[in-house]
Amino acid sequence: MGSLGAFMVTDSSLFSRLFASLRRSPAAIVQWFDADYMPEGADKMRATPDRVDWMRCIPFIILHAGCLGVIWTGWSPVAVWTAVALYFLRMFAVTGIYHRYFSHKTYSTSRLGQFFLALWGGTTVQRGPLWWAYHHRHHHQHSDDPEDAHSPHVHGFWWSHIGWITSKRNFPTDYTKVKDLAKFPELVLLNRFDTVVPILFAVAVWGFGWLLEVYAPGLGTTSWQMLFWGFFISTTALFHGTSCINSMAHLMGKRRFKTEDDSRNSFILALITLGEGWHNNHHRYMSATRQGFYWWEIDITYYGLKALSWTRLITGLKPVPKSIMEEAARADHDASVVAARRAALVHPDYSSLRRVVPAAIAVATVNAAQMTMPQRADDPAIHKDVTELAHELSKQNPSASAPSDASGREFMS
Ligand SMILES: [Zn+2]
Ligand SMILES: [Zn+2]
């Protein structure tokens, strides 16, 4: 009863705060459809202290609650595979387009190509390309310092994962910080009305399900089933997959480069995010198209961008400079030396390997020599130590105290 009571109090306070916000700020509703509508001014919004704005939570609540729709629609292989495919196609858009193009310009494209990329990026439901690029550039400028909007070291895990997006101060786009993008009115328009593409995308996914329902009933899917799997579940997973970079890529993994932030390289995060897990590499050199610097640092986004460059939709992929690769090689060498020293300290037996291994090689060599060289059974002296032979000789001939070179030669004859 106690816990139920606590839940009810929390629940009612949540709803009362939600409705209070609705009454207080109708502007917030307009902002869902027009992201540049700010009667109080963008500067004033950016000056508000960091806290969760319940009005900004509503789209997230709808997105997550929408996943429950599958309870009523069920599943089918085609719906689940569509969800998986749309996750990866749109993760590619987050990392290859919003991040590596709009934020860092690591390759070039035509104006039409740029617009097409912006539309593709819009399907990720991660707001407009200018908002995304502005916040990301800000992150690189202030990584892990108090100004960083989503540092897990400064704000904690949940704030850097999701809380920061709901904060009023992070809502506006500062167009002065993305002037290179703001000069294109079509991009500004997509950025301003940033829910248009996601809504059209959701309708398209629903329509795709409807087409399959009518023309391929054997697949066993419906329009609503496709909407819940292909849009709601896929988009929710995409959001959390992307957010892992904000919340975990500065906590989990190894640091190759001693950057001023705490960015890390993580193979697991690289798989989830198609290459963004090589975050320490990226923080060291953000202008390169690839983030996995070696072949074993799997970077699927880079492979996709490379393939796109063959179609000439994009051009001028920027490589990692030689100096950075040399720095990486030095850092890896230093890290392996430190790891070996640490292993020797933690496991004292490890250091004895240095004695064991040469001894084992010596034994193996002697054995191999014995196997290949013919045994001289008629001359046992060949297997005897010089001191041992000298001792035997002195017993046979007490006048000889030690074998001379000549006597030594005699032993061998
Ligand atoms: Zn970072
Ligand atoms: Zn970046």
pLDDT in tens, the chain (413 residues): 344 344 444 455 666 766 666 555 577 788 888 898 888 888 888 888 888 988 889 999 999 999 999 999 999 999 999 999 999 999 999 999 999 999 999 999 999 999 999 999 999 999 999 999 999 999 999 999 888 898 999 999 999 999 999 999 999 999 999 999 999 999 999 999 999 999 999 999 999 999 999 999 999 999 999 999 999 999 999 999 999 999 999 999 999 999 999 999 999 999 999 999 999 999 999 999 999 999 999 999 999 999 999 999 999 999 999 999 999 999 999 888 888 888 887 776 655 555 555 545 544 444 444 444 334 444 444 444 434 444 554 555 544 444 333 333 333 32
Contact 310, 240 (CB under 8 A): no
Q: For tokens 């000549």, what's the residue?
A: 406
Q: How far apart are CA 135 and CA 246, in angstroms?
A: 11
**φ, ψ of residue 151 in degrees (nearest 5):** -95, 125
Report the DSSP beta bridge partners of residue 52: 167
pTM > 0.75: yes or no: yes
Angle of helix 111-122 versus helix 129-141 axis, rounded to 10: 90
In a domain, 344, yes or no: no
Instruction: Judge if 26 and 45 occupy the same domain.
Output: no
123 CA distance to ligand 2 centroid (A)?
Answer: 20
Strands (DSSP E) contained in 5-96 are none
Please name which ligand lies nearest the alpha carbon of 95: 2
Please name which ligand lies nearest the alpha carbon of 148: 1
Please name which ligand lies nearest the alpha carbon of 291: 2
In a domain, 332, yes or no: no
Please name which ligand lies nearest the alpha carbon of 102: 2
257 CA distance to ligand 1 centroid (A)?
Answer: 13
Range of the domain at 381: 375-413
106 CA distance to ligand 1 centroid (A)?
Answer: 17
Q: How far apart are CA 36 and CA 30, in angstroms?
A: 9
Residue ending a domain, choose from 279, 301, 320: 320
Instruction: Judge if 289 and 413 occupy the same domain.
Output: no
- Which run of H or of E encompasses 109? strand 108-109
267 CA distance to ligand 2 centroid (A)?
Answer: 17
286 CA distance to ligand 2 centroid (A)?
Answer: 6
Instruction: Judge if 290 and 393 occupy the same domain.
Output: no
104 CA distance to ligand 1 centroid (A)?
Answer: 13
Q: How far apart are CA 74 and CA 108, in angstroms?
A: 43
For 287, counting Cβ atoms within 10 Å of its Cβ (0-12 exposed, 13-18 middle, 19+ buried), the class is middle
Please name which ligand lies nearest the alpha carbon of 150: 1
Instruction: Judge if 203 and 289 occupy the same domain.
Output: yes
Instruction: Judge if 63 and 9 occupy the same domain.
Output: no
316 CA distance to ligand 1 centroid (A)?
Answer: 24
Please name which ligand lies nearest the alpha carbon of 261: 1
Tokens standing for 214?
Answer: 């009518």
In a domain, 335, yes or no: no
In a domain, 356, yes or no: no
Instruction: Judge if 315 and 383 occupy the same domain.
Output: no
Angle of helix 111-122 versus helix 185-192 axis, rounded to 10: 10
In a domain, 146, yes or no: yes
213 CA distance to ligand 2 centroid (A)?
Answer: 41
DSSP 8-state secondary structure symbol assigned to residue 253:
S
149 CA distance to ligand 1 centroid (A)?
Answer: 11
In a domain, 168, yes or no: yes
Instruction: Judge if 10 and 115 occupy the same domain.
Output: no
Instruction: Judge if 214 and 118 occupy the same domain.
Output: yes
Q: For tokens 């916040």, what's the residue?
A: 135
Instruction: Judge if 254 and 379 occupy the same domain.
Output: no
Instruction: Judge if 1 and 108 occupy the same domain.
Output: no
Instruction: Judge if 14 and 154 occupy the same domain.
Output: no
In a domain, 222, yes or no: yes
Instruction: Judge if 73 and 148 occupy the same domain.
Output: yes
pLDDT of residue 45: 87
- Structural domain count, the chain: 3
In a domain, 331, yes or no: no
Residues with CB under 5 A from ligand 1 (ion): 263
